[in-house]
């Protein structure tokens, strides 16, 4: 049998153990990398929870499940916690100032469970962005310039070919002594008639001279 002193000591030990068990505090940690401009979501497990709270610096959000009461000083339009789903914290269009330590504390009957995330925001290099933008702009412009040069070369060659094949009008249609235009195919006949006419005139002169 236990003495009164032993029973009292055992009771004290049981009370201490129950008190310690009721204040069990578990902490889970994780790191998250997000590129600037993207979105991210933090999710807490709040099964059978009495209360859930979010903190990040001076930002505070708490939701009491039993009383269905919410307190929040979140003012950022990019950060939101839905009271219907208080286990999720959403951040849209992540910026550099959003980096830091985020905590989710869930209170149960037997203690508190804390989940921590260290958010790191990766900045986009401005030099790379500028180079990509310049390349995006110059590529269509270079294509248009090459098309313009090709069209100009084709037009020049076409005009040059047309000019080479086209003969001047005087060569195609020779003129007679009277100023009339004679087609090339009749030029031989005209020359023959001219020669015969000149020969007849020459013979008439000789006849007149010699009295024939």
**What is the pLDDT tens value at each position of the chain, 212 positions in all?**
445 544 443 444 444 344 433 446 678 888 999 999 999 999 998 888 999 999 999 999 999 998 999 999 999 899 999 888 899 999 999 999 999 999 999 999 889 999 999 999 998 875 445 555 556 666 777 778 887 888 888 888 878 777 766 655 444 445 555 555 555 555 555 566 666 677 777 677 766 776 66
Residues 6+ apart with CB under 8 A from 60: 53, 54, 71, 72, 73
Helix (H) or strand (E) holding 44: none
Half-sphere exposure of 180 (CA within 13 A, CB side): 6
Tokens of 192: 């023959």
């Amino acid at each position: 049998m236990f003495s009164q002193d032993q029973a009292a000591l055992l009771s004290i030990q049981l009370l201490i153990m129950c008190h310690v068990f009721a204040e069990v505090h578990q902490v889970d940690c994780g790191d998250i990398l997000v590129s600037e401009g993207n979105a991210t979501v933090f999710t807490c497990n709040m099964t059978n929870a009495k209360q859930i709270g979010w903190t990040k610096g001076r930002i505070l959000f708490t939701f009491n499940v039993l009383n269905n009461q919410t307190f929040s000083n979140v003012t950022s339009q990019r950060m939101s916690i839905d009271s219907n789903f208080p286990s999720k914290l959403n951040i849209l269009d992540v910026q550099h100032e959003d980096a830091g330590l985020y905590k989710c504390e869930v209170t149960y009957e037997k203690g508190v469970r804390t989940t921590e995330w260290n958010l790191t925001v990766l900045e986009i290099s401005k030099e790379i962005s500028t180079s990509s933008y310049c390349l995006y702009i110059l590529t269509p412009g270079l294509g248009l310039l090459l098309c313009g040069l090709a069209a100009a070369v084709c037009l020049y060659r076409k005009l040059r070919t047309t000019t080479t094949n086209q003969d001047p009008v005087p060569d195609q249609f020779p003129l007679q002594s009277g100023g009339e235009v004679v087609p090339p195919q009749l030029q031989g006949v005209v020359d023959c008639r001219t020669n015969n006419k000149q020969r007849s005139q020459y013979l008439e002169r000789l006849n007149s001279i010699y009295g024939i």
